[in-house]
């Protein structure tokens, strides 16, 4: 049947049907696009959260260094408390970041960074214990590399020299 032989009602019905089919196709396509955008958005949000945690780890590590230095400049229970709080926050943030990281290479890097950080924490705790016991001469003698840092490293020396003489 040609379009010329169709009546007005048939033309309206065919036009309405065509509009409905096009609307359904557009709607189904839109739903597919929305789902793909939502998936991409969720992945981007997860990446952003991991980046935020990594930045927080860096900040907490620096806070640990600053609070330990404050202790050696002016020993007090408050300074040790602040240092240990920053280390506890570092540990909690580190565990959260590990739990959110599935990539093997990123997990290896986090493990390496954590091991280096633990070396520094161990040395700092030893120095705090020596200072608390009144062995200041032993504290100023610490010159062990922290975190595998070596002389000539591009980021500077990693040698620990605490307390101004």
CATH code for the part of the protein at 8-139 = 1.20.120
pLDDT digits (tens, 9 = 90+) for 61-114: 899 888 888 888 888 889 899 999 999 999 999 999 989 888 888 889 889 988
Q: Which string of b and e fits 2-31 if b means at least 16 CB within 10 Å?
A: eeeeeeeeeeeeeeeeeeeeeeeeeeeeee
Contact 80, 95 (CB under 8 A): no
**pLDDT band at 165; cut points 50, 70, 90:** very low
| pLDDT tens digits for range 136-159 | 766 665 554 444 444 443 333 333
Burial class (CB in 10 A: 0-12, 13-18, 19+), 89: middle
Name every residue whose Cβ is closer than 8 Å to that of residue 96 and which is 6 or more positions away in sequence: 53
| Average per-residue pLDDT for the chain | 78
**What predicted TM-score, i.e. pTM, was given to this entire model?**
0.61
CB of 132 closer than 8 Å to CB of 83? no
Q: Where are the domains of the chain?
A: 8-139
**What does the block give as tokens for 99?**
């739990």
More confident: 155 or 54: 54
């Amino acid at each position: 049947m040609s379009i010329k032989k169709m009546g007005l009602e048939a033309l309206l019905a065919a036009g309405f049907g065509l509009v409905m089919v096009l609307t359904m196709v557009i709607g189904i396509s839109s739903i597919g696009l929305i789902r793909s955008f939502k998936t991409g958005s969720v992945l981007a949000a997860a990446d952003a959260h991991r980046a935020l945690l990594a930045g927080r780890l860096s900040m907490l590590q620096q806070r640990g260094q600053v609070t330990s230095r404050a202790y050696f400049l002016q020993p007090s229970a408050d300074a040790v408390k602040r240092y240990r709080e920053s280390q506890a926050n570092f540990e909690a943030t580190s565990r959260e970041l590990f739990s959110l990281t599935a990539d093997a290479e990123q997990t290896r890097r986090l493990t390496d960074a954590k091991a280096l950080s633990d070396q520094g924490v161990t040395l700092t705790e030893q120095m705090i214990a020596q200072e608390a016991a009144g062995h200041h001469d032993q504290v100023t003698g610490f010159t062990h590399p922290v975190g595998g840092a070596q002389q000539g490293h591009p980021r500077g020396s990693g040698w620990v020299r605490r307390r101004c003489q």
